[in-house]
């Protein structure tokens, strides 16, 4: 069992790493293929969409055909997709290969988690799922840093994907040899129409949020690109629910059994999974905070971020242990408290690197403890043996949706903060006593506000010859950046509070159910 868990953990790490690893090479890829930044962004968007689509499919097929078989297929797809990406002759081929890669990577965590829940002794569920969750969280956080290292060492973006091929081959060999499973396969017919409607609903929802503008949120919410696809997603999800309900007494097995959706514990667990995804998405912005607010060079910012990743790993292991000893809702409540305190420190206290590390460790332990063990234990608590895969898949899908939607919210705080840089510049000059002509002050403010980009503004301010004026401008930029990140930290804190509240409510529901069950037995 230890060998099989290690195989699954490496597979989870490999798949989760790939979405973050590409962000470090996005500019290089855009230049290499000669495409616009808008098209370049689709290298990440398409992979995210592929992950979301593959999750429910992999969960359902693993329940039907076996987790070992699906794991082998997923790794094969991921390895093949990685090779095709590295050999892409043009950008269209590259995008298709990325989609193949995503369809393989999306189901690995789901299959690994459901395998642990179905195969391992119950007293080991927490620690084993904690290990998988830790690998998933650490890979998501360290992806950009590892990508930068590989790109710097090789000077070639192809190696970002070629490195997956030998790992995938080893996983295939060891997976066939060491993964043992005795699973009763479902013989019912697959609900392919339900799967199709669910996929269309997920794609519509995620695509609608890719059209949001962080600066002009209200305008983008009213744009046809957002509300048409968002409303289409809602309609498709409603249709999906009634389609699944209709199949309750037929010979076709629904994608998500309605009895699962009707369980209050399952619904609350999905909500917690969503909040944990949003918290994880906020952590990805911390290297930018180091670089832009702490003035740490982009080449070393990732190294200062390493303690957060290590704390996430420790949190995942500790969270798994606590699930076995104290239960999942108690673990989520404690993890949420760690996150709340960490984000509070970021918003009110952090002014230096060592302070950032302290706050980051609290956040890392918090989100690390949430991933993997507690949510997966909760969603499968009443799922039954044959629905464990789809239960885990649904919670993973909920987390994935949050990781796609929340960055738009967080980036919006950063983008909107630059709209106020003009007032910060004017205030800085007034407080310093430096007399600057009104037209020149207006020029500084309008140029900075129009740029809306930290690096271009920073370089422009550094080129100002007058030291006094330059210092005022740089300080205004510093205040602006802090304002933007504070909005991000406060919103992440709110997600943590919502996670805590949900855990407390779910804990009360579970205690009430247990008391009722005990009274019935008596």
DSSP 205-231: HHHHHHT--SSSHHHHHHSHHHHHHHH
Rounded distance, CA 414 to CA 487, Å? Answer: 8
pLDDT at 22 over 60: yes
Rounded distance, CA 414 to CA 480, Å? Answer: 9
pLDDT digits (tens, 9 = 90+) for 48-84: 777 777 877 787 777 777 788 889 999 999 999 999 9
The answer on 221 and 289 residing in a single domain is: no
**Bridge-partner residues for 189, per DSSP?**
252
Q: What pLDDT shows up at residue 118?
A: 78
Q: Is residue 165 part of a domain?
A: yes
The answer on 207 and 154 residing in a single domain is: no
Q: What percent of the chain has pLDDT over 90?
A: 20
Structure-derived torsion over alpha carbons of residues 83, 85, 87, 89, reported in degrees to the nearest 10: 160
The residue from 152, 181, 210 where one domain ends is: 181
Q: What pLDDT shows up at residue 522?
A: 59
Rounded distance, CA 68 to CA 70, Å? Answer: 6
Q: Is residue 186 part of a domain?
A: no
The answer on 43 and 12 residing in a single domain is: yes
Q: What pLDDT shows up at residue 466?
A: 79
DSSP-derived 3-state class of residue 253: strand
Q: What is the CATH number of the domain that holds 460?
A: 1.20.1250
**Token digits of residue 408:** 């738009």
pLDDT digits (tens, 9 = 90+) for 179-236: 887 656 566 677 778 888 888 888 888 788 777 665 566 666 677 778 888 899 999 9
The answer on 462 and 338 residing in a single domain is: yes
Structure-derived torsion over alpha carbons of residues 471, 475, 476, 480, reported in degrees to the nearest 10: 150
Strand ranges inside 237-333, DSSP E? 252-253
List CB contacts of 125: < 8 A, sequence separation 6 or more: 116, 117, 323, 324, 373, 377
Rounded distance, CA 260 to CA 255, Å? Answer: 11
DSSP-derived 3-state class of residue 368: helix
CB 377 within 8 A of CB 125: yes
Q: How many domains does the chain have?
A: 3
Q: Is residue 482 part of a domain?
A: yes
Q: What pLDDT shows up at residue 373?
A: 81
**Token digits of residue 442:** 């207006």
The answer on 362 and 291 residing in a single domain is: yes
pLDDT digits (tens, 9 = 90+) for 226-285: 888 889 999 998 998 888 888 777 777 777 777 788 888 888 999 999 999 899 888 878
Rounded distance, CA 75 to CA 168, Å? Answer: 6
Q: What pLDDT shows up at residue 49?
A: 75
Sign of CA dihedral 321, 324, 327, 332: positive
Q: Is residue 269 part of a domain?
A: no
Rounded distance, CA 340 to CA 216, Å? Answer: 28
pLDDT digits (tens, 9 = 90+) for 133-181: 778 777 777 777 777 778 778 878 888 888 889 999 999 999 888 888 7
pLDDT digits (tens, 9 = 90+) for 275-324: 998 998 888 788 788 888 888 776 676 677 788 888 888 888 888 888 88
CB 108 within 8 A of CB 275: no
Residues 322, 406, 196: CA angle, nearest 5 degrees = 90
Q: How confident is the model at residue 329 (pLDDT cuts 50, 70, 90)?
A: very high
DSSP string, 67-95: HHHHHHHHHHHHHHHHHHHHT-SSHHHHH
The answer on 375 and 317 residing in a single domain is: yes
The answer on 230 and 174 residing in a single domain is: no
pLDDT at 478 over 80: yes
List CB contacts of 132: < 8 A, sequence separation 6 or more: 5, 8, 9, 12, 109, 112, 113, 116, 372
The answer on 224 and 77 residing in a single domain is: no
pLDDT digits (tens, 9 = 90+) for 375-399: 888 888 877 667 777 788 788 888 8
Residue 156: alpha-carbon gap to chain centroid:
26
- Whose CA is closest to 133, among 321, 303, 288? 321
Q: What pLDDT shows up at residue 130?
A: 78
Count other C-beta atoms under 10 Å from residue 515's C-beta.
10
Structure-derived torsion over alpha carbons of residues 330, 335, 338, 339, reported in degrees to the nearest 10: -140
Q: Which domain holds residue 337?
A: 275-522
**Token digits of residue 174:** 């060891």
Rounded distance, CA 159 to CA 174, Å? Answer: 23
The residue from 181, 214, 235 where one domain ends is: 181
The answer on 196 and 169 residing in a single domain is: no
Q: Is residue 260 part of a domain?
A: no
pLDDT digits (tens, 9 = 90+) for 336-373: 999 999 999 999 999 998 999 999 999 999 988 887 68
Q: Is residue 270 part of a domain?
A: no
Radius of gyration of the chain (CA): 24
The residue from 137, 154, 181 where one domain ends is: 181
CB 380 within 8 A of CB 132: no
Q: Is residue 146 part of a domain?
A: yes
Helix (H) or strand (E) holding 189: strand 189-190
The answer on 166 and 52 residing in a single domain is: yes
pLDDT at 127 over 90: no
pTM, rounded to two decimals: 0.84
The answer on 280 and 246 residing in a single domain is: no
CB 422 within 8 A of CB 446: yes
CB 478 within 8 A of CB 293: yes
pLDDT digits (tens, 9 = 90+) for 413-468: 887 887 778 778 778 878 877 776 666 666 655 655 555 567 777 777 887 787 88
CB neighbour class for 37 (10 Å; exposed up to 12, middle 13-18, buried from 19):
exposed
Q: What pLDDT shows up at residue 508?
A: 92
Q: Is residue 262 part of a domain?
A: no
The answer on 456 and 371 residing in a single domain is: yes
**Token digits of residue 463:** 């080129």
């Amino acid at each position: 069992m230890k060998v099989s868990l290690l195989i699954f953990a490496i597979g989870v790490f490999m798949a989760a790493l790939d979405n973050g690893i590409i962000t470090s090479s996005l500019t290089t890829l855009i230049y290499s293929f000669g495409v616009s930044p808008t098209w370049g962004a689709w290298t990440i968007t398409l992979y995210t969409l592929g992950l979301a689509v593959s999750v429910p499919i992999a969960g359902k097929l693993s329940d039907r055909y076996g987790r070992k078989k699906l794991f082998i297929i997923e790794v094969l797809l991921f390895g093949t997709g990685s090779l095709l990406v590295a050999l892409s002759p043009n950008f269209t081929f590259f995008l298709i290969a990325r989609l193949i890669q995503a369809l393989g990577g999306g189901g690995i965590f789901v299959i690994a988690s459901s395998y642990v829940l179905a195969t391992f002794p119950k007293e080991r569920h927490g620690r084993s799922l904690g290990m998988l969750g830790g690998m998933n969280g650490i890979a998501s956080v360290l992806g950009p840093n590892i990508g930068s290292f590989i790109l710097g060492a090789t000077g070639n973006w192809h190696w970002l994907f070629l490195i997956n091929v030998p790992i995938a081959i080893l996983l295939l060999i060891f997976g066939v040899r060491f993964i043992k499973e005795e699973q009763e396969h479902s013989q019912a017919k697959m609900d392919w129409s339900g799967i199709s409607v669910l996929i269309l609903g997920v794609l519509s929802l995620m695509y609608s949020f890719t059209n949001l503008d962080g600066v002009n949120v209200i305008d983008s919410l009213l744009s046809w690109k957002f509300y048409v696809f968002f409303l289409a997603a809602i309609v498709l999800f409603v249709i999906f629910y009634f389609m699944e309900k209709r199949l309750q007494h037929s010979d076709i097995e629904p994608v998500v059994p309605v009895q699962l959706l009707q369980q209050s514990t399952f619904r609350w667990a999905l909500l917690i999974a969503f909040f944990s995804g949003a918290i994880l998405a906020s952590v990805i912005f911390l290297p930018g905070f180091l670089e832009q607010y702490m003035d740490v060079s982009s080449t070393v910012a990732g190294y200062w971020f390493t303690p957060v990743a290590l704390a996430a790993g420790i949190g995942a292991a500790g969270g798994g242990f606590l699930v076995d000893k104290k239960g999942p809702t108690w673990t989520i409540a404690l993890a949420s408290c760690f996150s709340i305190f960490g984000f509070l420190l970021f918003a009110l206290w952090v002014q230096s690197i060592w302070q950032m590390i302290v706050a980051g460790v609290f956040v890392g332990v918090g989100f690390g403890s949430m991933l993997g063990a507690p949510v997966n234990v909760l969603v499968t608590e009443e799922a039954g043996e044959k629905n464990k895969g789809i239960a885990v898949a649904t919670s993973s899908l909920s987390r994935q949706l949050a990781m796609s939607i929340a960055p738009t919210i967080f980036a919006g705080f950063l983008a909107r903060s630059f709209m106020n840089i003009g007032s910060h510049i004017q205030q800085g000059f007034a407080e310093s006593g430096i007399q600057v002509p009104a037209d020149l002050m207006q020029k500084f403010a309008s140029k900075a506000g129009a740029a809306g980009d930290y690096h271009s503004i920073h370089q422009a301010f550094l080129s100002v010859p007058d030291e006094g004026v330059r210092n005022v401008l740089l300080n205004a930029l510093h205040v602006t950046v802090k304002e933007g990140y504070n909005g991000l930290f406060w919103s992440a804190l709110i997600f943590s509070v919502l996670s805590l509240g949900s855990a407390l409510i779910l804990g009360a529901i579970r205690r009430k159910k247990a008391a009722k069950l005990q009274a019935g037995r008596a």
